[in-house]
Amino acid sequence: MEVGMEVENKQVIFKGYIERAPLETDMEVKAGNKITQLKVPKGSGAVLLKNLYLSCDPYMRARMREFYGSYLPPFVPGSPIEGLGISKVVDSDDPNFKPGDVVSGFVGWEEYSLLQKANQLRKFQQDDIPLSYHLGLLGMPGFTAYVGFYEVCSPKKGEFVFVSAAAGAVGQIVGQLAKLHGCYVVGSAGTNQKVDLLKNKLGFDEAFNYKEESDLDATLKRYFPEGIDIYFENVGGAMLDAVLLNMRVHGRVAVCGMVTLHSYYDPEGIHNLFALITKRIRMEGFLQSDYLHLFPQFVEQVSSYYKQGKIVYIEDMNEGLESSPAALAGLFTGKNIGKQVVRVARE
């Protein structure tokens, strides 16, 4: 595709603010009404990207509510959804980027994104690791797993680790890092297919389908007769309440996500926080963005694990920008198996 030519730029438009989990109908794919000239004005410092892969992540839901007090601003109704992506530079007026460079960073959910400032883009060298893995294993979710496990959970060899949403983008990596650290690891997921993956592909010691369990407290007592040292919390709600009853003294709960919550105000509530005192539990929320100084060592360590076959990685790839609203909504119903990405264009 030649720089300077005009093209249609299909986009996924955010329709309006919601308080519940997103549905496919909260977004609209619009074609034909946007024309992009594939070049960047001189002196603008801008960068024009062709988007290859888009990342679907649970945190994006937070940007779909009209709330300005969080760490990222809300999406703008009528404008494209924004998220992490892998893109190729088409044209650049920024001396740090040249056409053909492969970058990751925040882009619009569209075929082409014009960034006025490229200062948050990260350029990387392609190697034998698939490009899209830089949205998961070697990207934000992998880094979330890495800092959450090593920095927040303070793990020790031999400890008992429980991971919820364990077949998801973050959970699958947490579980494998915990195994490599010498921990006993159990994961929960919402289908038997995912449970099978956890046990037979991802190397978890045990796994269970929480939808088939009527008493989560009893379930956890079955898998952790001696209790849980570390809970990597991805779901909130009833699972967290059951875990609190099964934590060991000086246990740690790394609070990464609460994907089951239907709103940021949890109407059911958490009822067993008294356990924090009797068991002296530390419960800590975290964001990977507070630990960016560790990103290079994370990439080095996890790439090395991957290349040595010590870590495997499961990705759920949707084809085409048109499929991205369903892909994002599917995160909140557990439709994805592994890290959800969307391929917008072939490299």
**Stretch of 101-109, 275-283, 304-312, 328-336 contacting its own copies, by CB under 8 A:** 275-283
**DSSP state, residue 151:** I
Where in 205-244 is the site for its own copies (CB under 8 A)? 236, 240
Among 35, 214, 277, 293, binds its own copies (CB under 8 A): 277
Where in 55-74 is the site for its own copies (CB under 8 A)? 62, 69-71
Asked if 255 touches its own copies (CB under 8 A), the answer is yes
Nearest to 253 by CA among 174, 337, 331: 174
Where in 286-345 is the site for its own copies (CB under 8 A)? 286-287, 290
Closest contact distance (angstroms) between CB of 237 and its own copies is: 10
Among 98, 126, 264, 319, binds its own copies (CB under 8 A): 264
Euclidean distance between CA atoms 339 and 176, whole angstroms? 15
Euclidean distance between CA atoms 98 and 151, whole angstroms? 36
Query: Burial letters for 80-112: b for 16+ Cβ neighbours within 10 Å, e otherwise?
Result: bbbbbbbbbbbbbbbeebeeebbbbbebbbbbb
Asked if 256 touches its own copies (CB under 8 A), the answer is yes
Q: Are 77 and 16 spatial neighbours (Cβ–Cβ below 8 Å)?
A: yes
Nearer to its own copies, 195 or 244 (CB): 244
Asked if 282 touches its own copies (CB under 8 A), the answer is yes
With CB under 8 A as the rule, give the number of residues binding its own copies: 36
Asked if 258 touches its own copies (CB under 8 A), the answer is yes
Geometric angle at alpha carbon 296, from 290 and 298, rounded to 5°: 80
First to last CA, the chain: 12
Q: Which residues bind its own copies (CB under 8 A)?
A: 62, 69-71, 236, 240, 255-258, 261, 264-287, 290
